[in-house]
Chain A
Amino acid sequence: EDQVTQSPEALRLQEGESSSLNCSYTVSGLRGLFWYRQDPGKGPEFLFTLYSAGEEKEKERLKATLTKKESFLHITAPKPEDSATYLCAVQAGGATNKLIFGTGTLLAVQP
């Protein structure tokens, strides 16, 4: 069964304290791995798509990487405005187009 597991469930950082969020997945034929940011009461906001092992993408203080079993979202020198829930999702091969999400990591960055 296709599955996504995110860790940790919650993470508290001081402003400027870099860290990484983990997304482990099992999927039959990965077509894409997606990272989203979600603020309370809002819909997920798209951040990155990764397609194959070894791929990396960056946006401001965020960098996403992908291996055959997991993805990492590295946050460098975070600011309080980076506080949010970060969701990881996969899209399996075959005819399906649905995204399978993990439960997310709730990040709090304190000034």
Chain B
Amino acid sequence: DTGVSQDPRHKITKRGQNVTFRCDPISEHNRLYWYRQTLGQGPEFLTYFQNEAQLEKSRLLSDRFSAERPKGSFSTLEIQRTEQGDSAMYLCASSLEGLAGVEQFFGPGTRLTVL
């Protein structure tokens, strides 16, 4: 059983550098989500894709953040000109489309540290 995978698991970068994270969802899932979690807080929604289309973006997602899901499978999240405030755990989740509330399955996360 293959769950959601994320790469890398850890990333340390210097302020001002660009970073890119990858997420591979559960294979049959058509929805993919990105969340950010800081210490002592619950995950906060960033953006969501249904297949290739980016359908919802949070106001948290500044112009320095961009996400793609080019073929409706894996997704990438890029942060340009990183700032120390970007240090967090970046979580990816996936789900199957449904009318009622549908559970989202999370990956292990990418821990970003900006020095």
Query: A91: which B residues are within 8 A, CB to CB?
Result: 101
- Our count of residue pairs bridging A and B at CB distance below 8 angstroms stands at 69
Is the CB–CB distance between A102 and B107 below 8 Å? Answer: no
> Given contacts A97-B31, A103-B40, are A43 and B103 in contact (CB under 8 A)?
no
Which residue of the partner chain B has the closest CB to A88?
Answer: B42
Is the CB–CB distance between B101 and A98 below 8 Å? Answer: no
A residues with a Cβ closer than 8 A to B are: 4, 30-34, 36, 41-46, 49, 51, 87, 89, 91, 95-104
> Given contacts A87-B42, A97-B31, A99-B43, are A45 and B106 in contact (CB under 8 A)?
yes
B42 in complex: contacting residue of A42, A96, A98, A102, CB < 8 Å:
A102
B101 in complex: contacting residue of A32, A36, A42, A45, CB < 8 Å:
A32
> Given contacts A43-B109, A99-B43, A101-B44, are A34 and B103 in contact (CB under 8 A)?
yes
The complex places the Cα of A31 from the Cα of B101 at a distance, in Å, of: 5
> Given contacts A97-B56, A98-B33, are A42 and B109 in contact (CB under 8 A)?
yes
